[in-house]
Amino acid sequence: MFPLPARIGLLVLAATAFYTYVGQLVPQKEVLPPEETIIRADLTTADMVTVGRQVMDGKGLCMTCHTIGRSGALRFPDLDGVAARAATRVPGLNDVEYFAQSLYAPDTFIVAGFNPGMPVINKPPIGLTDQEILCVIAYLQTLGGTATVTLQTSHAYYTAPGATPGAPADQQAAPGEQQPLTASPAQKGTPGAPAAPGQPAQTPAAVPPPAPPKKG
């Protein structure tokens, strides 16, 4: 007969050894912080598609809730063929604007049958940059369509460098292209307007006085 303290000690040791053994049987996975994506200024649209999928799998955490090519009871909408649906989801929004709204303001439009819950991905804890989001949009465009965005693409939530704020994307000037200028009244030669620097002043044309009435 072992004394009671010894039996309690043996029981504790046996339980500890058992749970240690069980713990070693569980697969161990090291979780590292997401790597920062380097967006080069010379990325082509094809390059952006590749980077966009990497962002979705990594830093964006998109594939944690979304799927591609699955059906049934899903947490968030499946993304297979999403490019073909994007241009018709919300009246007045093309595919780029719809994807931008879904990423910057995800609760603005909720697909029927699903609940709100997607985080705003340009803010913490995810915090994608505007360029990373453009790459994600480029990849999403390939799911049932063709990628068209570039790093110079603007939308309602982002104005690309050198673009005119508020101007439609198809009217933005390309990098290095000069925006059309509107002539001022002085440059158009409006009478009485101040002259442009280096130009002679313009004066209104002289109007002759009315002729005196003839005597009968």
Identify which has the larger pLDDT, 96 or 39: 96
Q: For 111-128, write each residue's pLDDT tens digit.
A: 999 999 999 999 999 999
More confident residue, 151 or 11: 151
Res. 37: pLDDT tops 80:
no
d(CA 6, CA 115): 57
Task: Calculate the alpha carbon distances from 145 to 62, 83, 131, 134, 137 in Å.
Answer: 19, 5, 20, 16, 12
Instruction: State the CATH number of the domain containing residue 142.
Output: 1.10.760
What is the pTM for the complete model shown? 0.63
Q: Would you state the pLDDT for residue 210?
A: 56
Residue 60 lies in a domain: yes
Per-residue pLDDT band at 191 (split at 50, 70, 90) = very low
47-73 per-position pLDDT tens digit: 999 999 999 999 999 999 999 998 888
Give domain status of residue 87, yes or no. Answer: yes
Question: 195 pLDDT band (50/70/90 cuts)?
Answer: very low
159-177 mean pLDDT: 59
Report the pLDDT averaged over residues 183-199: 43
* Residue 122 covered by a domain: yes
> How many domains, the chain?
1
Q: Is residue 12 part of a domain?
A: no
Q: Give residue 182's pLDDT.
A: 37
Q: Is residue 124 part of a domain?
A: yes
149 in a structural domain: yes
Backbone φ and ψ of 68, nearest 5°:
-130, 110
Q: Is 24 a domain residue?
A: no
Q: How far apart are the first and last CA of the chain?
A: 157
**What does the pLDDT read at residue 187?**
40
pLDDT over 70 percentage in the chain: 69
Q: What is the rounded distance in angstroms from the CA atom of residue 184 to the CA atom of residue 187?
A: 5
Domain that includes residue 108, residue range: 47-68+76-157
pLDDT for the residue 28? 60
If you count them, how many residues does the chain have?
216
In a domain, 37, yes or no: no
